[in-house]
Amino acid sequence: MSDLEPGGWSHNEGGEITQGRPQGTGNGFAHFKHSQPLQAKDVLRMRVEVGRSVWVGFATEQYNAEKHGETYKSIAYVWLDISQGGTTVIYPDISQDGQEHCHPDHLQLHIPKAPFDLAVRCEAVSNVPQIQFNDDDVWHDFAPDRAALKAGPWFPYLSLYGANVRLSDHSVHRPRAVKSAGNINKAPAAATAAADGAGAAVGGNDDDSFLPPQKKARHEQGGSK
């Protein structure tokens, strides 16, 4: 187990490093990327002390937190909000098949109330990104169709909205021995279809990377926010 060096976090104007941990300033979205490269089966851990609008996941080397609007298609994340979150997104520039995988509310029922511990990893061999809550030995796939990431390295990614979000204990654990992938949570086909038809990823904000699919499509075709 090794702590993530506070100096390794890069961020946009909405973020800062406070007492060694990523923190939002309250000035819009705070995007963060750490310089620590992650390989398959490396486990990124942290604790959500206080928070609602938190996004956590992976970024490619090409992602730039200071230019999030230009490079966000190189991230994959889970939105951690117990009331309306659980949405997962794998953008095309990090996706193994080059497609976007968006699943609204996919993990909503599994997100605990803060405070809680979480861990994210890419399953060895398959590169399927997964998340675990409170060390319960259940790894949930980001996508119910087991969409995978392009070959690593990947880098820790965070996004926070609001100055009241507080995270701590950022660390990376690299298992020494090869172990089984463990339990994988797979949503039933009916639930998958319902999630895919929900029609929205994350609403109620002005950041392109979190726009509902329809609104984002109009934006990418030349519309404005």
pLDDT of 220 strictly over 90: no
pLDDT at 41: 84
**Span 1-14, mean pLDDT?**
92
Residue 22 lies in a domain: yes
Residue 171 lies in a domain: yes
pLDDT at 162: 87
Q: What span, in angstroms and rounded, lies between the C-alpha atoms of 90 and 99?
A: 8
Residue 61's pLDDT band (cuts 50, 70, 90):
very high
Domain encompassing residue 65: 2-186
HSE-up of 159 (CA within 13 Å, CB side)? 26
pLDDT at 219: 41
Phi, psi (deg, nearest 5) at residue 68: -55, -45
**What is the residue-averaged pLDDT of the chain?**
83
Residue 126 lies in a domain: yes
Q: What span, in angstroms and rounded, lies between the C-alpha atoms of 100 and 98?
A: 7
Residue 205's pLDDT band (cuts 50, 70, 90):
very low
More confident residue, 86 or 199: 86
pLDDT at 178: 52
Residue 76 lies in a domain: yes
pLDDT at 22: 96
What CATH code is carried by the domain that includes residue 121?
Answer: 2.60.120.560
pLDDT at 115: 93
- Which range among 17-26, 69-78, 175-184 shows the weakest confidence by mean pLDDT? 175-184
User: Whole-model pTM?
Assistant: 0.79
Count of the separate structural domains present in the chain: 1
Residue 207 lies in a domain: no
Q: How would you label 55-70 residue by residue, b for 16+ Cβ within 10 Å and e otherwise?
A: bbbbbbeebbbeebee
From the centroid of its chain, how far is CA 215? 21
Residue 176 lies in a domain: yes
Residue 202's pLDDT band (cuts 50, 70, 90):
very low
CB neighbours of 25 closer than 8 A, spacing ≥ 6?
13, 14, 15, 16, 163
